[in-house]
Amino acid sequence: MIRSRYFLTGYQSIKSKGTFGHESFPNRRHIQSYSIFEQNSLSHLIKDLQGSLKDVKHKDEINTREVLNLLRYYKGSSDIEWKKYSLRDPKRSYTRNLVTKITPFSNLLVLVWEPGKKSSIHDHPNSNCFMKILQGEIKENLYSKNTENKPILYRSMTLQENSVAYINDNIGLHSMQNDSDNLSVSLHLYTPSYQTSKSFNSDGLAVNNEMDYYSSHGKIN
């Protein structure tokens, strides 16, 4: 069953198919303590994410709203620090580049999407996936499963530069695609991180995939 979803684009929030309830934004004093307001950089975002996730041992302990807000406050399109992690391979549809482990249970990645390419329909096993578009735009397709376990498209939307989104398996499956003629780049936080994921074809056939990295810490593996 699809429980909920929030999108945050710029300063707008949109709730669809309902999950977190009416959570308020952090109070002003707490907001001012964020490192990201000292300097708009990936390093400062990482510091804030580490503070938010440092005591988290289980996915249900995550302050989802706070993490979404931190990603929203970070203006990736005006930062250049992430570019050293945005390594591409034109022979691949996209590359998964490990930036760092936020905690022993959480990974931060930069994904580079080739023009006109897309991912498979896939899950996020027992994990929370947070996304921010750093460059360009990405179309996200959301799927539920019918009684025959086949993925059924129920929503598509294009995430513009600096948009933020969130998904877990209670929300559904998804696929991502770059429909533009230019490279697109997205930032992904997976918590807890995972080693394998399932991809699905239109008939519901699932295939297990190892989650490898094209590069780690700015160096090709």
Q: Which two tokens stand for residue 157?
A: 């939307």
Q: Tell me, what's the pLDDT at 30?
A: 56
pLDDT of residue 20: 33
**Rounded-to-integer distance, Cα 90 and Cα 97, Å:** 14
Average pLDDT along the chain: 88
Which residue range(s) make up the domain with 74? 25-214
Tell whether residue 217 is among the known ligand binding residues. Answer: no
Is 3 part of any domain?
no
Please report whether residue 70 resides in a domain: yes
Share of the chain above pLDDT 90, in %: 78
How many domains would you assign to the chain? 1
CA atoms within 13 A of residue 111's CA, in its CB half-sphere: 26
> What CA–CA distances, in Å, run from 144 to 25, 122, 132, 155, 179?
29, 11, 23, 10, 22
Nearest Cα residue to 15 out of 64, 70, 60, 61: 64
CATH number of the domain encompassing residue 65: 2.60.120.10
In a domain, 14, yes or no: no
**Residue 5 placed within a domain:** no
Point out the residues of the chain with pLDDT beneath 50.
1-29
| Distance of alpha carbon 141 from alpha carbon 153, whole angstroms | 7
